[in-house]
Amino acid sequence: MTKKIDISDSPTVCKTVQAAAARFDQNGEYLTAPELAARWAKAKVTVRTLCHWRERKRLRGPGYRRIGQIVVYPMTEILAYEESVTVRPPLGRRQAKELKRQ
């Protein structure tokens, strides 16, 4: 049994991966895991959380693409995921009646 080594905290590896991802993403259509974690920082989603969602095959998180060792998240997948987890309050009686009349 081999032990996985988490290299996501290594500054050298992060800079290398970010540089490679920057070359891959020239149109701003993708975010790297650190960029996505920064976007969702208020929700306390970390790079490690994103890694768990990917590696454990949980049905959580946005879709991603792995190209070699680079993992990028397409903006379309991020926006679709954010929309899918949006909670909308239920309509009150008055609002429901108004919708039925239209």
Q: What are the sequence ranges of the domains in the chain? A: 11-84
**pLDDT for residue 1 is more than 80:** no
* Residue 6 exposed, middle or buried by CB count within 10 Å (0-12, 13-18, 19+): exposed
* pLDDT band at residue 34 using 50, 70 and 90 as cut-offs: very high
- Radius of gyration from C-alpha coordinates of the chain: 19
Which position has the higher pLDDT, 12 or 96?
Answer: 96
pLDDT at 86: 83
pLDDT band at 24 (very low <50, low <70, confident <90, very high): low
At 79 the pLDDT is 93
Question: In sequence order, which residues have a C-beta less than 8 Å from that of residue 102 and are 6 or more positions away?
Answer: none
pLDDT value at 80 more than 80? yes
